[in-house]
């Protein structure tokens, strides 16, 4: 008897809901702050669309803002902590805005320059690559609850782009992105959906080989 074909890997990448620091633009790495009431509402708005998807695995950053987003989105019961989904360690730049940093270091970007006493771009790339290698050994739908700048690096590394390419990606809070393989070219990793807000999720909830641009 032939073995049933395993469903293709599809990663549903969710950034956590709003926090006080994401609202103010402060770099929030390992500071474990909660969602705002608005952030909790954003997370709840994800639930109807995510409930329509059967997930093989649900992984979340251990930090409160990601775990709480996962819970309010309806997937907390299946979630497992994944340290590699943590946000960039900003070191000395923790709590600072980009404008504060550039006032002293003109032209600074985290994706090229990293953070003193925090993580370098190479270290974050290694972390993303390690996680991707483990995820690629699986199959089916996997939900990932993470953070803004690490998620951008994860997407860049998924398509084998350099870390610096992540500066061209942006994520709003409680957004959904989808990383998968092109159905017409199964060895080609693609960003199938990026930075979608809940009103748009039903349209993209399950992507198939007949989607525009899949050929």
Which residues are known to be catalytic? 16, 87
Q: Does 42 carry a binding-site annotation?
A: no
Q: Is 181 annotated as a binding residue?
A: no
65 is in an annotated binding site: yes
158 annotated ligand-binding residue: no
How many C-beta neighbours within 10 Å does residue 30 have? 14
5 is in an annotated binding site: no
Q: Is 88 part of any known ligand binding site?
A: yes
Place of tokens 């690490």: 150
SS (H, E, C) the chain: CCCCCCCCCEEEEEECCCEHHHHHCECCCCCCCCECHHHHHHHHHCHHHHCCCCCCEEEECCCHHHHHHHHHCCCHHHEEECHHHCCCCCHHHCCCEHHHHHHHCCCCCHHHHCCCCCCCHHHHHHHHHHHHHHHCCCCCEEEEEECHHHHHHHHHHHCCCCHHHHHHCCCCCCCEEEEEEECCEEEEEEEEEEEECHHHHHHHCCCCCCCCCCC
194 assigned binding-site residue: no
Cβ atoms of residues 35 and 69 within 8 Å: yes
**Annotated binding-site residue numbers:** 28-29, 65, 87-90
Annotated binding site for substrate: 28-29, 65, 87-90
């Amino acid at each position: 008897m032939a073995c049933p074909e395993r469903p293709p890997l599809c990663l549903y990448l969710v950034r956590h809901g709003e926090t006080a620091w994401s609202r103010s633009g402060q770099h929030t790495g390992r500071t474990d702050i909660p969602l705002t009431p608005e952030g909790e509402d954003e997370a709840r708005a994800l639930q109807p669309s995510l409930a329509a998807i059967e997930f093989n695995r649900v992984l979340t950053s251990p930090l409160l803002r990601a775990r709480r987003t996962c819970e309010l989105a309806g997937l907390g019961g299946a979630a497992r902590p994944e340290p590699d989904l943590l946000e960039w360690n900003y070191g000395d730049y923790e709590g600072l805005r980009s404008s504060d940093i550039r006032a002293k270091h003109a032209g600074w970007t985290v994706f090229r320059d990293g953070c003193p006493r925090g993580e370098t771009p190479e270290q974050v790339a290694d972390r993303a690559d390690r996680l991707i290698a483990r995820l690629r050994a699986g199959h089916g739908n996997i939900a990932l609850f993470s953070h803004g700048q690490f998620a951008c690096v994860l997407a860049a590394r998924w398509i084998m782009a350099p870390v610096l390419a992540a500066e061209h990606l942006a994520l709003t809070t409680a957004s959904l992105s989808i990383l998968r393989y092109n159905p017409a070219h199964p060895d080609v990793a693609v960003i199938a959906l990026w930075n979608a807000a809940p009103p748009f999720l039903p349209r993209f909830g399950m992507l198939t080989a007949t989607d525009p641009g899949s050929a």
